[in-house]
């Protein structure tokens, strides 16, 4: 069973996710809220996956925010198909100096990566399915417990 909530999109239509800073990405309030809810539930660890992460700015902000909320084990995984963007994301992640945060950025086929993620769903999955990629909706839903999509739609997997 899933529950959906919608937020108004403040990003320009058709603007790529990599073109916005994390504080201007309309998914940020949902990311911050999801992390706060996990901490209120006494969670100490979190796993965040950003499918189609671009240069990783939103994911890096999310893991830093998780740390500031008191998470003690934070895993972040960024997936993208652009080598230059993955290189930028890796360089930014290398500047993190916190043993509680583990980051990986990799080039991968999105469908294959989402299928892999479904085996052990992320606590939070960030994605951009606004391009209407055929057949990815089910893979996206299975890859994360909380899915924050673009346009900013939040879907939560609720345990029965």
Q: How confident is the model at residue 18 (pLDDT cuts 50, 70, 90)?
A: very low
Q: In what order do the strands lie in the sheet with 122-126?
A: 2-6, 153-157, 144-149, 122-126, 45-51, 73-80, 101-107
Q: How confident is the model at residue 134 (pLDDT cuts 50, 70, 90)?
A: low
pLDDT, greater one: 53 or 9: 53
Q: How confident is the model at residue 160 (pLDDT cuts 50, 70, 90)?
A: very low
Kindly tell me the sign of the dihedral angle through the C-alpha atoms of 111, 15, 34, 55. Answer: positive
CB burial of residue 156 (10 Å; 0-12, 13-18, 19+): middle
Reading the block at residue 107, the tokens are 């080039």
């Amino acid at each position: 069973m899933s529950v959906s909530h919608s937020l108004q999109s403040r990003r320009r239509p058709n603007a790529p996710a990599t073109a916005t800073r994390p504080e201007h990405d309309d998914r940020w309030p949902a990311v911050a809220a999801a992390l706060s809810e996990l901490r209120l539930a006494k969670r100490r660890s979190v796993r965040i996956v950003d499918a189609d992460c671009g240069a990783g700015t939103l994911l890096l902000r999310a893991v830093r925010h998780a740390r500031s909320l008191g998470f003690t084990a934070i895993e972040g995984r960024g997936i993208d198909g652009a080598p230059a963007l993955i290189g930028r994301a890796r360089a930014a992640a290398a500047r993190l100096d916190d043993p509680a945060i583990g980051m990986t950025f990799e080039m991968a086929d999105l469908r294959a990566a989402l299928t892999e993620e479904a085996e052990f769903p992320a606590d939070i999955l960030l994605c951009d399915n606004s391009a209407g990629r055929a057949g990815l909706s089910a893979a996206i839903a299975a890859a994360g417990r909380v899915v924050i999509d673009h346009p900013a739609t939040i879907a939560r997997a609720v345990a029965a």
